[in-house]
Structure 1
Amino acid sequence: MARTVFPYRRPDQQCADPSAWLVTAAGRTYEGPIALPGWDYNTDLAIARDVRIDLSKLREQSGLPTDAALLLAVVWESSGSHQRSRCFREKLPGLDGIANLQVDAHLRGEDLGGTLTLRTAIVLAEQVSTPEPFTAHLPGSELWSEEFRIVLEDDAPLFPVAMVDFAVTTFPLGTPWSVSVGSNPDSAAMGSLMLYINESIDAVAHAFRNAGDPTTADAVLLSAAHADVTRVLIEHALSIEELDSSIDYPEGSIGRMLQGVMHRIFPDEDYKSIRRRRDSQPAMFADEVHDAVRVFSEVR
């Protein structure tokens, strides 16, 4: 759904009256949540809302003819997965009056992460052949819109977590956590990633078990883990010589996930220059990562 940028008349926000979003996750429904506690990649979302549209006001204030084809669309965007897609589309009636539409959509948990933005918009569905001056006439021209954001998790990469006694593994006993990342960038991320937590270190195990409602001490450890995991993923991305932002890796693959992490930490920067900086100034590079993930910023 492309948005045009030429100047045209727009109706006021009162032409549409959307209800609060209802979000269902793991069998529980939340009304207009700003955060979903305990969400993970295995949790799909069902979203729903009603939208009441005053077609008379919308067309009058936009200067559009009664036969102009309009539609209501909902587009979601995820800051964690860097994916964006339309999940709902329905044409509005051609006549004036009041239209009541019910929005229902299903979002796959594996496509999401970070902050989920739901954008509801009324747009032109087809070109208006004989437009009045300063009126929208191109398909995709946005007449009205509203955004709502839901924090699923912070922007740390999300993948399966396993509590393990490191005494029965090959991990060093004093290591608080360890990240396992597959080496093939084309392989599925969900089957090739794991964060192992050393349950024999009580403070670390407590922090991860209480991540939904952490104490100050828990928050310190979780923030440190976030920064360390991000650093490991960036180092892993830079170790794959062929990995580059221009490569179109399969959706849900390790390569696509690593590209997302790199874009979040080093937006629009060439991978070769990042590698050179990492190799020439490793200490400064680590500081850059800590600064980008805002380590300890949420500790109170």
Structure 2
Amino acid sequence: MTDVRPYFVPGADAVTVSDWSQLVDGTWESLGEEVENWDYRTDLRLRCAVEADVARIRADTHLTDGSPLAFHFGWRASDTYLVGPSTRVPLVNRQFDVEIEIDPQFAGASIVLTRRLVLERDRFSPRAGEASRAGSILWSHEQPLRLMGQEALFPTEVVDFEAFGIDPGASWHLVMPASPDEPAMGALLLLLNPLDTKLVKAVQRVKNHSDEQLALIEGMEEGVVDEMVRWSLAHWDELGECDPESFGAAARTLTSRVLDEPAAWASDAVLRSSMDLRSSIAAGTRAIGFGRSLS
């Protein structure tokens, strides 16, 4: 589809940008359509190179009067609809690199990386065909990026539930840490009951799941997140002081993404509105990419 705007815009080759790169263990690596092994504790730092023909841009847009133009680099979450802060670079230099950081607490399951060149101030005497409103987008480029796949959230093991003292009629059991201060890595263990052969096969399958298998996994995901959020609410007053690398801090981050106002649920009143809490957790869980999708 051709993008037709009501004002002059730069030619297609007036602005060129590189692909985005991701910082991984101190090294910049090419970024594809998804970030592998991402979780809600992982900061995302991206970089790209830009080459802009400044004189050409102003000539093509007829904005030769010194009107302030600037690039804005940022992102928006495509499922939670939150918009991240943008990095502003005035249209001055022909070549430059730009870096952005994505806060994992607000990223959701997928985001759209945005690059735009905008007019930053209203123009009061524009001629016909010239951009006049602050915020007018003269050039833009967007790239979708998926941050979560179908991989298991935690280490899983298939064990004899009766031997572990767990009701053998249950399909799964989440082993939670005794203290919020325990390190986040390795704090959780998801146990699967071998008697539920359908669930075990679904979890162990790497790809090409059947609809039934996806339903089993998604249902378990929602239950696991529900358990973690309820655990967080029961310890809410303690979690704010936890070490950033602790399970308590990770659980607080997850809960803040799932529920709009976690503190409002962290009271005895929650016990009297358990179904309301369950509904809110389910909706929030789906919004960040776990559990079932209604579309």
TM-score, normalising length: structure 1: 0.61
Question: 1:147/1:123 Cα in 2 relative to 1: closer, same or farther (>3 Å)?
Answer: same
Residue 3 of structure 1 corresponds to which residue in structure 2?
none
* Offset, 1:175: 2.6
Is 1:213 matched up with 2:208?
A: yes
Residue 153 of structure 1 corresponds to which residue in structure 2?
148
Residue 54 of structure 1 corresponds to which residue in structure 2?
53
Residue 246 of structure 2 corresponds to which residue in structure 1?
253
Distance 2:44 2:241 in 1: 27
Identity of aligned residues (%): 17
Residues 61-210 of structure 1: matches in 2 within 5 Å? Answer: 61=61, 94=93, 99=94, 114-120=109-115, 146-153=141-148, 159-167=153-161, 169-210=164-205
More off after superposition, 55-64 vs 68-77: 68-77
Maintained 8 Å contact 1:76/1:116:
yes
Amino acid of the residue matched to residue 275 of structure 1?
Answer: S
* Offset, 1:151: 1.6
Distance 2:70 2:293 in 1: 44
Maintained 8 Å contact 2:72/2:118:
yes
Amino acid of the residue matched to residue 297 of structure 1?
Answer: S
Distance 2:191 2:64 in 1: 58
Maintained 8 Å contact 2:22/2:47:
yes
Question: 1:46/1:289 Cα in 2 relative to 1: closer, same or farther (>3 Å)?
Answer: closer
Question: 1:270/1:233 Cα in 2 relative to 1: closer, same or farther (>3 Å)?
Answer: closer
Which one of the candidate residues 37, 40, 48 is aligned to 1:39? 37
Cα deviations by residue, 1:57-112 (Å, 9 ceiling, x for unpaired):
4456595888x9977866798989x9x799x9999864xxxx455778999x9x98
> Secondary structure at the residue paired with 1:182?
coil
> Secondary structure at the residue paired with 2:180?
coil
* Offset, 1:193: 2.4
Maintained 8 Å contact 1:160/1:190:
no
Residue 293 of structure 1 corresponds to which residue in structure 2?
285
Equivalenced residues, count: 271
> Secondary structure at the residue paired with 1:184?
coil
Amino acid of the residue matched to residue 286 of structure 1?
Answer: R
Q: Cα RMSD (Å) of the superposition?
A: 5.3
Distance 1:188 1:78 in 2: 31
Maintained 8 Å contact 2:158/2:200:
no
User: What stretches of structure 1 move > 6 A for 4+ residues in a row?
Assistant: 22-25, 42-48, 68-72, 74-80, 88-93, 102-107, 131-135
Unmatched 5+ stretches in structure 1: 1-9, 125-130, 136-141
Residue 256 of structure 2 corresponds to which residue in structure 1?
263
Distance 2:62 2:153 in 1: 46
Question: 1:11/1:158 Cα in 2 relative to 1: closer, same or farther (>3 Å)?
Answer: farther
Unmatched 5+ stretches in structure 2: 1-6, 126-130, 132-136
Distance 2:230 2:256 in 1: 14
Amino acid of the residue matched to residue 271 of structure 2?
Answer: D
Is 1:279 matched up with 2:277?
A: no
Maintained 8 Å contact 1:163/1:205:
no
Question: 1:48/1:186 Cα in 2 relative to 1: closer, same or farther (>3 Å)?
Answer: same
Question: 1:186/1:117 Cα in 2 relative to 1: closer, same or farther (>3 Å)?
Answer: farther
